[in-house]
Amino acid sequence: MSSINENAPTGALSPEELGDRLIALIDLLQNRVRPSYHTTRLTAARMSALRIIIENDGTTGGQIAQAERVTQATITRVLDGLYESGFIEREPSPRDRRIVDVRATEAGRAAFSEAVASQIERLAGALATLSAEDRAKISSAIRHLERVFRTARDQRS
């Protein structure tokens, strides 16, 4: 894997080259937002699971594992951490006693909001240095990438 190279060619890259550049960019973005995890006791995995829980009140561990494409054991560890931090509550499902519904607590919603605000602030500081034209190009590219990866995700589901 390569690191972001500011002197890389500006023409169209192959899908493999784009994938490599996106992975390097993900690493840079993660490094930029990582400090927000420490202040809220949220890891990237907990943050991702908590987003799903907030967006899907009363979801189950199995549904979260499926959305995250991880094993039940992995998501159980993530949920245990969220529970121990007071960010989620678990309740027996009224639909099936064998299932446990997961809901975000007020503390979980607050921690999530705080982490997102911190991440946005950290990214916006760097993005503010771009021209309006460059921000428009990036906005367009993001829309295209979201469409591509949502379509790919939906086709695998």
> Whole-angstrom distance between the N-terminal and C-terminal Cα of the chain?
28
Do the domain assignments include residue 45?
Answer: yes
Predicted confidence (pLDDT) at residue 127 exceeds the cutoff of 90: yes
Tell me the CATH number at 90. 1.10.10.10
Domain count of the fold of the chain = 1
Q: Please, are residues 75 and 85 in contact by the beta-carbon 8 Å criterion? A: no
Asked whether 47 and 91 are in contact (CB, 8 A), the reply is: no
Residue 72 within any structural domain of the chain: yes
* pLDDT > 60? residue 28: yes
Across the range 20-31, mean pLDDT stands at 94
Task: Decide if pLDDT at 5 tops 70.
Answer: no
Q: pLDDT tens digits, residue range 29-70?
A: 999 988 888 788 899 999 999 999 999 999 999 999 999 999
What confidence category does residue 26 fall into, taking pLDDT thresholds of 50, 70 and 90?
very high
Strand partners, 100: 92
Entry pTM: 0.79
Q: What residues make up the domain containing 97?
A: 31-129
| Residue 25 within any structural domain of the chain | no
**Distance separating alpha carbons of residues 136 and 43, to the nearest angstrom:** 31
Domain-located, residue 9: no
Distance CA 90, CA 45 (A): 18
